[in-house]
Amino acid sequence: MSGKPKLHYFNGRGRMEPIRWLLAVAGVEFEECFLEKKDDLTKLQKDGSLLFQQVPMVEIDGMKMVQTRAIANYIATKYNLYGKDLKERALIDMYVEGMFDLNELFMYYEIQPADKKEQHFANMMDKATNRYFPVFEKSFKARISNVPAIKKFLQPGSQRKAPTPNEDIPKVIAIFH
């Protein structure tokens, strides 16, 4: 388990996307091992790779790390992306927690049953528009998207994932349920 970090997840954004962003901004190349079917997840669960029996999982520095925030904190600390002092880390943590909350809204929208999608969408857009976007728009987006490594990650051909197409949602659900 040495060399490039190895990311285990389905071929989509989900909870692995912030980890991809962090590795990209750190300039770290990584490999991806995509879960294609339930058996792929079951194999990881049975061989003891998943502490809490769930992904994402990242193999890095001889460890098999799970839990998105733990992985993100490890990578941010390892590559000096976690602030210069306690106050800066607290500010980073606030942005990170807000980003995770917003991401959860988007992730759960895609798996809503048809009769609940419209209501979830309205709630999601209200929270996104009035609670989260204003915070991220205050000079944060412009500064972040001009960081050279992020600018490169946002270009076509990077390992950044596109939104999961609707026709792939049942495949992803089948892996995890």
Q: How far lies 124's CA from each of 59, 101, 113, 121, in Å?
A: 33, 11, 15, 5
Name the DSSP letter for residue 166.
Answer: G
Q: Is the pLDDT of residue 56 over 90?
A: yes
Tokens of 110: 């895609």
pLDDT band at 29 (very low <50, low <70, confident <90, very high): very high
Predicted pLDDT at 143? 78
Q: Is the pLDDT of residue 168 over 90?
A: no
Predicted pLDDT at 33? 96
Gap between the Cα atoms of 67 and 55, Å rounded: 7
Predicted pLDDT at 60? 97
pLDDT band at 1 (very low <50, low <70, confident <90, very high): very low
Q: Is the pLDDT of residue 68 over 60?
A: yes
Summarised one tens digit per residue, pLDDT across range 100-142 is 898 888 888 888 888 998 999 999 999 999 999 888 877 877 7
Gap between the Cα atoms of 116 and 130, Å rounded: 21
Tokens of 105: 């809204």
Which residue would you say has higher pLDDT here, 32 or 107? 32
Q: How far apart, in Å, do the first and last CA atoms of the chain sit? A: 28
Helices (H) and strands (E) in the chain, counts: 9, 4
Element (H, E) at 96: helix 86-110
> How many CB atoms are closer than 10 A to CB 137?
10
Tokens of 66: 């799970």
Predicted pLDDT at 24? 92
Name the DSSP letter for residue 131.
Answer: I
What is the chain's alpha carbon radius of gyration, rounded to the nearest angstrom?
Answer: 17
Predicted pLDDT at 172? 87
Tokens of 156: 């076509």
pTM, two decimals, is 0.78
Predicted pLDDT at 2? 55
Which residue would you say has higher pLDDT here, 85 or 169? 85
Q: 3-state class of 82 per DSSP?
A: coil
